[in-house]
Amino acid sequence: MRIEQRPEFQIHLQNLKSKEQLYLETIFSVANGHFGVRDSNPLQGNNPNYRGTPGLFINGFYDYYEIQYGEKYTGYPVNDQVINRLCDPRYIRIKIGDEDSSVNYFKVDTVDKNMDMQTGMLHEIFSVTTPQGKIFNLIVESFASVEAANVYGIKYGIVPINFDDEVEVIKVHDYVNQKTSSTVSDVRVNESQGHLQLDFLDGYEQPSYLLTTYKSQQGSLLTFNGSGPKLTYFKDENNHWGYHATYFGKKGTQKEFEFLFSIGAVYPLVNAQMYADQYLVKLNEDIKNTSFKSELMASAQVWQTFWLHSDVEIDGDPEVQLSLRFNLFELYQSAGKDSHTSIPAKGLSGNGYGGHYFWDTEIFMLPFFIYTNPELAKKILMYRYETLSVAEQQSTQFGFKGGAMYPWRSINGVEASAYWPAGTAQIHIDADIAYAIEQYYEVTGDDDFLDNYGYEIIVETARFYMEWGNFAKINDQRRFVINRVTGPDEYSAVVDNNYFTNKMVKFNFRMVQKYAKRFENTELSKRLGLSPKELNRIKEAADLMYLPFDNEKKVKLQDQNFKQMNKLDLSKIDNNDFPLLLHYHPLMLYRSQVNKQADTILADVLFPSGYSEDELMRDFDFYEPITTHDSSLSQAVFAIAAARVGKQDQSYNFFSQAIQTDILNSHHNTANGIHAGSLGAAWEGVFYGFAGVINNAGTFTMNPKLPARWNSVKFRIFLYDSEYIFTIYEHEVHVSLLSGTGTTITIAGAKCDLDNESPEQVVKY
């Protein structure tokens, strides 16, 4: 297979505004959902002279460390989980004559970097100068296979530029905790390391390691093989197995060495130790009798399939086009694909937020997968089912009789939020998961998922809210209220009746009711003990849910007391004081009308029906001036809201900023990892914003409003068993049914009943 390189799919160093090392390590990281490798200086190893935060991250492979509280109250999480930063597989040790890169400081200058998003291959050229002034070029190609989840491939080409001398290439990975020399000081970054151990397993024909964690009691395995001129398996001076080759390097002559790593799954420690042999046999198989090239090609084929179904082609806006592709590429690179893991908020490109999963997955990333890769969306949702029992325990430990309390942030399902006001108090996470399940079911009609997994989550999350909330009188009317919670906006905490939360919970309750008949007298409802009495109470709570509203201004109120607070005049704040969270005491922010991110506006976006455009416009005009967008999850949401109320220019501005969050490093912290939620939100900006999609209660409608500079936008989606392709022009939509039997969709008010007999239609708007 030969894939022609197309510039529209290349992230090229020269087109990036920043050339800062840590930022580039993130942007050019390669990942496949199982593991991710930062784009380090390949000679770095554990040498403290080099600057960077290299490392290998395995999704779901973490260790605990004890959280140090000044005052530790009952129920606070004891341990934080932090994704392990493992040895950097890019590392290579090179000796030239009597100079050794692991001892002497070789100066490494980047000449070129290019990520080909069509194949997932990173191509780099470095110019390396030894202390004695010998110069050689180091050409590195690498990829994380999306075809074989374990496989990481790296190939080095070495070309002496100004010398003929002995060259020795050594590839040994004899440390487990990757050292970094980051100078980052940001509360959002957790530089804690797990307690890891690396054991060399003898008796294999290639280096094989057992990696284990001390506290979380997990284990994984890693093995690698290599090939190249004179490359042999050997023991280095520390008695560590690896590969080396010695040859006489000649000016201008390139020698190539390639290595394939097989990076194992994450097992309970005992299994990893007991079955290490068996696991290693399997891991070896993945990299035996194959080559860098054939693994790369197999992976590139999968990338081709990804782009076929998931690409969004924009005509008329090349910069936005490239950023959008980068975002989609990163989303696929980051998504756990094994049903046991989810998508860390920073993908697998860095250890920002400790490798934790948040609501970012369900609300901001999952829609992209639901519509373009429903099988993967199901796997991602399965992580929540796998951790349901932990969530149930958390609810009872919290003091409730039942229900499931999902963690605000976690890897293994146990709450890991050390700051509860902007963490555990964000109980909307439960309803966010229930909302995502309903979205998935609406689009796929996957009965197996709803019957065996989804409904149970919907019921248990609803039960949790029935315990948290209560019936009370407000203005003499009986209401269901949910007090002392934090909504999405992290500049307001522990409030009463957060509009977003209450609206989401109401929806969660309605879902229990909606499917109650379907599950009547089933094994599941018996197991759950769901009685008509309980269902009636849930219905009553949904009917009476309190949704705060300002009758004077006629806007939805972010929370019951939001009106009483003073506005923070954002125009008076120095630009250097943003994000505010790094410069103000939280209580200064909690006491003011200032938003970190879309909160009530997100509710408007997620529940588009039932409001007039005027009402949405009022909400937008009220919340937009008080929102700082200090969270990268905010601008795309405002872009959708602006598109819906016809503020096209504002919508485009928000969208183009959101979409370039990482490419432009606009939050100045891409160094710690990509903003995966923001990447997904940008896709939502196209889909729900400019294409104007609303998919509600079984009706799929589209009311496009293209940005002025776009000639067209083209994308595919799955709906039930069918796949469609849409091309939206300024006044026309072309839609074709590509596979499946078709369903009714409505475009700009016109019903389109596409089927195999008439699979195409053009709608003017």
Q: Which residues bind ligand IFM (CB under 6 A)?
A: 345, 353, 358-360, 488, 490, 631, 633, 677
Q: Which residue, 188 or 591, has its beta carbon nearer to ligand IFM?
A: 188
SS (H, E, C) 21-55: HHHHHHHCCEECCCEEECCCCCCCCCCCCCCCCCC
- Among 323, 366, 334, CA closest to 684: 366
Q: Which residue, 263 or 505, has its beta carbon nearer to ligand IFM?
A: 505
- For residue 345, the minimal CB distance to ligand IFM (Å) is 4
SS3 at position 317? coil
Q: Which residue, 160 or 488, has its beta carbon nearer to ligand IFM?
A: 488
| C-alpha dist (Å) from residue 224 to 258, 455, 716 | 10, 43, 38
Q: Which residue, 154 or 411, has its beta carbon nearer to ligand IFM?
A: 411
- For residue 363, the minimal CB distance to ligand IFM (Å) is 9
- Among 580, 706, 608, CA closest to 648: 706
SS3 at position 66? strand
Q: Which residue, 299 or 661, has its beta carbon nearer to ligand IFM?
A: 661
Q: Which residue, 40 or 361, has its beta carbon nearer to ligand IFM?
A: 361
Q: Which residue, 350 or 692, has its beta carbon nearer to ligand IFM?
A: 350
* Tokens encoding 90: 């890019």
- The rounded distance, in Å, linking the Cα atoms of 108 and 137 is 9
- For residue 47, the minimal CB distance to ligand IFM (Å) is 32
* Residues 270, 272, 277: CA angle, nearest 5 degrees: 125
DSSP class per residue in 638-706: HHHHHHHTT-HHHHHHHHHHHHTTTTTTTTS-GGG---HHHHHHHHHIIIIIIS-EEEETTEEEE----
- For residue 407, the minimal CB distance to ligand IFM (Å) is 12
| C-alpha dist (Å) from residue 270 to 34, 209, 213, 220, 386 | 21, 15, 11, 11, 20
3-state helix, strand, coil in the chain (%, to 5): 35, 25, 40
Q: Pick the catalytic residue from 392, 490, 624, 684.
A: 490
Catalytic site includes residue 490: yes
- The rounded distance, in Å, linking the Cα atoms of 39 and 154 is 12
- For residue 681, the minimal CB distance to ligand IFM (Å) is 11
- For residue 366, the minimal CB distance to ligand IFM (Å) is 14
- The rounded distance, in Å, linking the Cα atoms of 345 and 356 is 6
Strands (E), 509-588: 549-550, 555-556, 566-567
- For residue 360, the minimal CB distance to ligand IFM (Å) is 5
Q: Which residue, 292 or 359, has its beta carbon nearer to ligand IFM?
A: 359
- For residue 677, the minimal CB distance to ligand IFM (Å) is 5
| C-alpha dist (Å) from residue 435 to 85, 338, 491, 536 | 33, 22, 24, 21
For the chain, how long is the longest CA-to-CA vector? Answer: 91
Q: Which residue, 353 or 368, has its beta carbon nearer to ligand IFM?
A: 353
- The rounded distance, in Å, linking the Cα atoms of 25 and 521 is 55
Q: Which residue, 353 or 654, has its beta carbon nearer to ligand IFM?
A: 353
Bond prior to 579 in cis (omega within 30° of 0) = yes
A 10 A CB-CB count for 478 gives: 12
- The rounded distance, in Å, linking the Cα atoms of 135 and 96 is 10
- The rounded distance, in Å, linking the Cα atoms of 744 and 71 is 58
Burial grade of 193 (CB within 10 A; 0-12, 13-18, 19 or more): middle
Runs of H (alpha helix) within 337-483: 366-372, 374-386, 388-398, 428-444, 447-449, 455-468
711 within 8 A of 363, measured Cβ to Cβ: no
Helix (H) or strand (E) segment spanning residue 657: helix 648-659
Q: Which residue, 154 or 671, has its beta carbon nearer to ligand IFM?
A: 671
- For residue 700, the minimal CB distance to ligand IFM (Å) is 28
List Cβ neighbours of 45 (8 Å cut-off, separation of 6 or more). Answer: 88, 91, 93, 102
- For residue 422, the minimal CB distance to ligand IFM (Å) is 8
What is the number of helices (H) and of strands (E) in the chain? 21, 35
Chain centroid, CA 494 distance in Å: 27
- For residue 87, the minimal CB distance to ligand IFM (Å) is 27
Runs of H (alpha helix) within 288-348: 292-310, 318-334
SS (H, E, C) 106-119: CEEEEEEEEEECCC
- For residue 643, the minimal CB distance to ligand IFM (Å) is 22
Which residue do the tokens 């009220």 mark?
622
- Among 76, 82, 34, CA closest to 62: 82
List Cβ neighbours of 426 (8 Å cut-off, separation of 6 or more). Answer: 359, 408, 485, 486, 487, 488
Q: Which residue, 345 or 443, has its beta carbon nearer to ligand IFM?
A: 345
Known catalytic residues are: 490
